[in-house]
């Protein structure tokens, strides 16, 4: 089945979105020029822009839904699908490519069982690729959230990801009857 472009927030996130908009109604006047700051604020809190958030912003600013969705999709900074707690960005620029970023990415994809743009089922990771971080001297480069890792090889990348994964307890298995 094809994935919808704009994801909806799952049921358990509904109260989060209500809290967010209660706060935003106090912070913003609802002027059309506040559209981008409002989208940024919603994404900071929710991790992405669910369809409900964009519709609510349209209501508050009295802009059409088409205008809000069109503006949000115009800017690369906005996401429309949920992301993992850790965003793993692998550089695919020329310098990193020459130093083996393709193999690095392949290893990470294999380890996390998720392709770029997809969140792992445990909600921990999302893999992304980037054209260049501007740190070419450190190639190949991977960034996890705000931490930059340079001169990376596959075993070090796996160690870093394994450390993160191991720091989260595995969900308990349901006890058998
Ligand atoms: S090419 Fe990877 S940081 Fe520039």
Q: What is the CATH number of the domain that holds 48?
A: 1.10.10
Q: Would 41 be classed as within a structural domain?
A: yes
91, 100, 102, best to mutate for ligand 1 pocket (most atoms within 8 Å of CB):
91
Q: Which of residues 21, 50, 74 is at a domain's end? A: 74
62, 107: one domain: no
Q: Which residues line ligand 1 (CB under 6 A)?
A: 91, 93-96, 132-133, 135-136, 139, 141
> Do residues 128 and 79 make contact, with C-beta atoms less than 8 angstroms apart?
no
Q: Model-level pTM? A: 0.72
Overall domain count for the chain: 2
- Identify the domain containing residue 50 by its residue range: 11-74
* Tens of pLDDT, residues 86-112: 999 999 999 999 999 999 999 999 999
68, 119: one domain: no
103, 54: one domain: no
Q: How far is the CA of 104 from the centre of ligand 1 (A)?
A: 13
156, 92: one domain: yes
153, 109: one domain: yes
93, 159: one domain: yes
User: Sheet containing 147-149: which strands, arranged edge to edge?
Assistant: 125-130, 86-91, 142-144, 147-149
* Tens of pLDDT, residues 119-162: 998 999 999 999 999 999 999 999 999 899 999 999 999 999 99
Whole-Å CA distances, 49 to 25, 39, 80? 17, 7, 5
Q: Would 2 be classed as within a structural domain?
A: no
């Amino acid at each position: 089945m094809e994935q919808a472009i704009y994801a909806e927030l799952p049921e358990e996130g509904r109260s989060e979105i209500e809290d967010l908009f209660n706060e935003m109604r106090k912070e913003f006047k609802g002027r059309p020029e506040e559209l981008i700051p409002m989208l940024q604020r919603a994404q900071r809190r929710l991790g992405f822009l669910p369809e409900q958030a964009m519709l609510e912003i349209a209501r508050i600013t009295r802009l059409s839904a088409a205008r809000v969705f069109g503006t949000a999709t115009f800017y690369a900074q906005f996401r429309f699908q949920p992301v993992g707690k850790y965003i793993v960005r692998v550089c695919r620029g020329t310098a990193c490519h020459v130093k083996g970023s393709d193999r690095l990415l392949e290893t990470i994809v294999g380890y996390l069982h998720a392709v770029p743009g997809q969140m792992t089922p445990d909600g921990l990771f999302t893999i992304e690729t980037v054209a260049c971080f501007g740190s070419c001297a450190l190639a190949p480069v991977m960034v996890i959230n705000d931490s930059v890792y340079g001169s990376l090889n596959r075993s070090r990348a796996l160690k870093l990801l394994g450390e993160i994964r191991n720091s989260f307890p595995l969900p308990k298995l349901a006890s058998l009857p």
